[in-house]
Amino acid sequence: MLNVLVCVSGGGTNLQALIDAVKDGRIRNARITAVISNNRSAHALERAKQNDIDAVCLSPKDFGERAAFNRALLEMVDSYAPDLIVLAGFLVNIPPEMIRAYPNRIINIHPSLIPSFCGTGYYGLKVHEAALARGVKVTGATVHFVDEGTDTGPILLQKSVEVHADDTPESLQRRVMEEAEWILLPKAVDLIAAGKVEVVDGKAVIRQE
């Protein structure tokens, strides 16, 4: 059984997609053991509690220096002994020591087709604003492993979403979530739980069996 820890900063819609997928069997051989948020008002914490999942808030604002927060975060993560860490809208830079402690065991969901509209400064609505400003006809979402860069780790899964002529950043964000993120993230966790994913020479490989 794969122990999954989810880190999230906001409403937790991707967390809910994972919870639902575990319940209905789309994610097999895995359980969500804890949710960590940097935001006390994050609805994701309430979603966790409603589903009997440990919910913890750990904010950089509660620490005098970032290094102290980084140590506390790693200690908190270690206490749950996760097999997989899922970043589901976690607006905190993951400390390098945590990435080194969990190599190829941290995945992130990003609301674009990487390498488009990713990297420093591209998060939340900013991603969709940039896509619309550029005039792209297709966008989507990407699940990737986390390395010490920003959105630079090996890509595991991607799914495209059509951009409509009358889209706003908000409407596009919603459709990318519904048509891509909520599908890709549970699929990625299920593949990892089934032992079908490995990283070889910096690339994520899915074994077809």
Q: pLDDT tens digits for 91-128?
A: 999 999 999 999 999 999 999 999 999 999 999 999 99
Residues sharing a CB contact under 8 Å with residue 129, sequence separation 6 or more, in sequence order: 169
Peptide bond into 115 cis (omega under 30): yes
DSSP letters for 112-169 = S-TTTT-STT--THHHHHHHHHHT-SEEEEEEEE--SSSS-SPEEEEEEEEPPTT--H
Confidence grade of residue 208 (pLDDT, cut at 50, 70, 90): confident
Residue in 154, 1, 7 with CA at minimum distance from that of residue 89: 7
The answer to whether the CB of 32 falls within 8 A of the CB of 4 is yes
Dump pLDDT digits (tens) for 7-51: 999 999 999 999 999 999 999 999 999 999 999 999 999 999 999
Q: Tens digit of pLDDT for each residue in 147-156?
A: 999 999 999 9
The rounded distance, in Å, linking the Cα atoms of 206 and 188 is: 10
Q: For residue 138, what are the β-bridge partners? A: 162
Encoded tokens for 198 = 């490995």
Point out the residues that are catalytic.
110
| Eight-class DSSP state of 201 | T
Vertex 111 angle, CA 194 and 173, to 5°: 125
Give the torsion through C-alpha atoms of 98, 104, 105, 111, to 10 deg: 90
Asked if 18 and 6 count as a contact pair (C-beta separation under 8 A), the reply is yes
Decide the pairing of beta strands 2-7 and 30-37.
Answer: parallel
pTM for the whole structure = 0.95
